Amino acid sequence: MVIKIGPVVRYIFRTLKVANAVIFDLMKQHDAFSERSRLFTPILFLLFLPIFILLVVLLIKFMYNGDKVDIIALSLAILLQLAVFALLLIYRLSVLVDEDGVHFTYPPHVRKLRTIPWEDIDYVQVVEFNALGDFLGWGYKRSPKYGQGYLTQGNAGLFVVKKDGTTFMLSILNTQKLQEILHALEK
């Protein structure tokens, strides 16, 4: 007797509200592609850090001998930078490709596990893209060429064309493993 693990895990997720990370960890044990990537990278942290330190030093300096307007402006700049930093930490793309279809989450835009069954998919293709040229950046973007984009790191992704004509792109870092799984699922 063969039990498909995909529907069982999705049922657990829906009924017990189990975190998405647990689902993806369970699915890693089976013949499926699973990947989680973040929009935030250590390089971004290194870019944010000097600016943050500069703003804090200026704020301390102006607190002792500055105008209230300067203090308020610097405080708002620090808060804005912290908000952007926190938002970059939230963006995390989780992709799963298994015998049931393509599953993904991309909080805060796609909070619940979104599943596209193979019956609704015309074709999928691993493609290379230019995030700046095709989507004008990373994050939750739209492109005339690829449709909706859920982009984190890298320049490769899973391009999905649904039977109803809608298209979307999911950033993928490990394209070789995804190609192997897609080839195995074709058989």
CA–CA gap between residue 66 and residue 6 (Å, rounded): 61
In percent, how much of the chain has pLDDT > 70?
83
CA 61, 65, 70: angle at the middle one, nearest 5?
Answer: 70
Query: pLDDT digit string (tens) for 116-163?
Result: 999 999 999 999 999 889 888 888 889 999 999 999 888 899 999 999
pLDDT bucket at 9, cuts 50 / 70 / 90:
low
Q: What is the DSSP letter of 18?
A: -
The one-letter amino acid code at 181 reads I
pLDDT bucket at 26, cuts 50 / 70 / 90:
low
* 175 contact partners, CB below 8 Å, separation of at least 6: 126, 156
DSSP secondary structure string for all residues of 53-112:
HHHHHHHHHHHHH--HHHHHHHHHHHHHHHHHHHHHHH-EEEEEEETTEEEEEETTTEEE
pLDDT reported for residue 15: 47
* Number of other CB atoms surrounding residue 21 within 10 Å: 12
CA-based R_g, the chain, Å = 21
